Amino acid sequence: MSDVSFYDYAKLSTEQRAALLKRSEADLSGVIEKVKPIIEAVRTEGDAALARFARDLDKAENVTEATLQVTPAEFDAAFKAVDSKVIDAIQFGIENIRSFHEEQKPETMWMKEIRPGAYAGDRFTPIQSVALYVPRGKGSFPSVTMMTSVPAVVAGVPNLAIVTPPAPDGSVDAATLVAARLAGVETVYKAGGAQAVAAIAYGTKTVKPALKIVGPGSPWVVAAKRLLSGVIDTGLPAGPSEAVIFADDTINGGLAALDLLIEAEHGPDSSAYLVTHSRRVAEEAMAALPGIWAKMTEQRVAFSRTVLTGGKTGGIILTSSVEESYDFINAYAPEHLEILSTEPYDHLGKITEASEILLGQHTPCSIGNFGLGPNAVLPTSRWARTYGPLSVTDFVKRSSIGYVTAAGFPLLARHAHELAIYEGFSSHALAVSELRQQFVR
């Protein structure tokens, strides 16, 4: 289709190539200035500000200070409102996600004898309170509830809460409540956007503050996390959806087009590229897109067309070689990566910078998003270079443990004493000198 952004990568300048790496939240300066007064209002006004923003920003006229928290009756009603097939799909996904994440859970403590009589190790304990952000603005996301709640419950976090934007009628998405209860979370607050992050950071009369908040969100959520990072642990940076679909010349371009639209349909701020060194695949994908769009809903067509035809965060990239494709993918460091090939493992070893890598023709992002097992809450904006997917380890903290016996002390003390003297720390040195023996029982 002629208006889909098409890039002949070999012909692009250095500046043009760099522009392809930018995400929608790369420049948040304008959003940050709008978020600041929201945060301050929540900090000073608490529930009153949350209810006001629910009405003004979420158009939820029925949300009041008294109805900010979901009631048990609302949970019960959700199970009656959601089709049994959807509930089954949620339960199926939760089982897979739990099975996967249980394998990640570290042992409570381990120790190793480093030297005779000297032991060191780690102890893992759950973070005491974590909030899970579940977006809603461009759709309903029980899948995000599953992906954030299950590893937190597996980790043993004792105080868990979900924050999610209310609908215009003041309700929370019913499937989100079903997923929350089935995963093991019963506390849900009707708050979204920057105001939700502020409420969790500072606490209000209704909303209990948490030590950490995790979950993907809009640029407003990302901006609020940045501003409040000194108040609350904001977890891995997860912003608007992004994906790279890599296809080699063994693939039908129509399949690449089909999967290209998965993350592109999340919203106009998503990012989605098809990267291929095969002109045939690129042309087939271009030709297939109109027919696929004809089968999608109007809203999702609008979102994905904005991404793929806007010329800023999506389109089709034709490289001159498979090595050039690898180079672009590693530079882009995508949130989601599909390797479409009849031999996907041939390519896997060449790609190091991607948070989720889905292999072959039968593993689309849809399956990854809805319950294959690995977590689909992933770092965006090239943070895949240093962050991995959300995991059980995001909900626990590690303490180092050390224990030295009387027999092991002299050897370690002698070397510690030497370094303490060299670095000029007399108290350090005294603590491992003969003086210590006067006080040891």
The residues carrying an active-site annotation are 335-336
Q: Which two tokens stand for residue 358?
A: 């889905």
**Any idea what the Cα angle at residue 304 is, between residues 297 and 309, rounded to 5°?**
135
Cβ neighbours around 77 below 10 Å, total:
14
